[in-house]
Amino acid sequence: MAIDLSGYHFSGIVMMMVLPKWLSPTPPKMKTTVLTVEDPRTEYEINLAASKEMELLTTALKGYFSAKTIEEMCQYVRLPERVRPMMATYYAKKPLVPNPIAGKLPALEPLPSPEGRNFWVAKCALKDGQIKNIVVETRSNGEVKVDWENATGYQIMGFDEFADQQPRELPLDFRVNIKYGSYYADEFSDEEIWRCFMLSAPNATSIIYGYIKRDNPLLGELEDLIRRNGGTSRLGILQLKFPREFQAKRAALIEKSSAPSGSI
Q: Is residue 3 part of a domain?
A: no
For residue 189, the Cα-to-chain-centroid distance in whole angstroms is 30
pLDDT for the residue numbered 164: 94
Looking at the structure, tell me whether residues 65 and 130 fall in a common domain: yes
CATH number at residue 236: 2.40.50
Q: Is residue 10 part of a domain?
A: no
Q: Which domain holds residue 135?
A: 47-152
Looking at the structure, tell me whether residues 252 and 164 fall in a common domain: yes
Looking at the structure, tell me whether residues 79 and 120 fall in a common domain: yes
pLDDT band at 75 (very low <50, low <70, confident <90, very high): very high
pTM of this prediction exceeds 0.85:
no
pLDDT for the residue numbered 214: 97
pLDDT at 106 over 60: yes
Q: Is residue 171 part of a domain?
A: yes
Looking at the structure, tell me whether residues 146 and 204 fall in a common domain: no
Domain count, the chain: 2
Looking at the structure, tell me whether residues 123 and 77 fall in a common domain: yes
Q: Is residue 170 part of a domain?
A: yes
pLDDT band at 257 (very low <50, low <70, confident <90, very high): confident
pLDDT at 44 over 60: no
Q: Is residue 12 part of a domain?
A: no
The mean pLDDT of the chain is 79
Looking at the structure, tell me whether residues 131 and 165 fall in a common domain: no
pLDDT at 138 over 80: yes
pLDDT for the residue numbered 46: 53
User: Which residue, of 125, 152, 179, is where some domain finishes?
Assistant: 152
Considering only residues 32 and 192, tell me which one the structure prediction assigns the higher pLDDT: 192
Give the chain as a 3 state SS string. Answer: CCCCCCCCCCCEEEECCCCCCCCCCCCCCCCEEEECCCCCCCHHHHHHHHHHHHHHHHHHHHHHHHCCCHHHHHCCECCHHHHHHHHHHHHHHCCCCCCCECCCCCEEEEECCCCCCEEEEEEEEECCCCEEEEEEEECCCCCEEECHHHHHCCCCCCHHHHHHHCCECCCEEEECEEEECCCCCHHHCCCCCEEEEEEECCCCCCCEEEEEECCCHHHHHHHHHHHHCCCCECCCEEEEEECCCCCCCCEEEEEEEEECCCCC
Mean per-residue pLDDT for 100-108?
86
Q: Is residue 6 part of a domain?
A: no
pLDDT for the residue numbered 191: 96
pLDDT for the residue numbered 48: 52
Looking at the structure, tell me whether residues 244 and 200 fall in a common domain: yes
Looking at the structure, tell me whether residues 121 and 60 fall in a common domain: yes
Read off the pLDDT of residues 214-244 as tens digits, 9 standing for 90 and up. 999 999 988 888 887 777 766 678 889 998 8
pLDDT at 61 over 70: yes
Mean per-residue pLDDT for 191-196?
96
Looking at the structure, tell me whether residues 135 and 203 fall in a common domain: no
> Residue 113's CB: how many other CB atoms inside 10 A?
20
Q: Is residue 29 part of a domain?
A: no
Looking at the structure, tell me whether residues 164 and 216 fall in a common domain: yes
Looking at the structure, tell me whether residues 176 and 132 fall in a common domain: no
One-letter amino acid for residue 32 of the chain: T
User: Which residue, of 120, 152, 184, is where some domain finishes?
Assistant: 152
User: Which residue, of 152, 185, 203, is where some domain finishes?
Assistant: 152
Looking at the structure, tell me whether residues 179 and 88 fall in a common domain: no
CATH number at residue 53: 3.10.450
Q: Is residue 114 part of a domain?
A: yes
Considering only residues 8 and 246, tell me which one the structure prediction assigns the higher pLDDT: 246
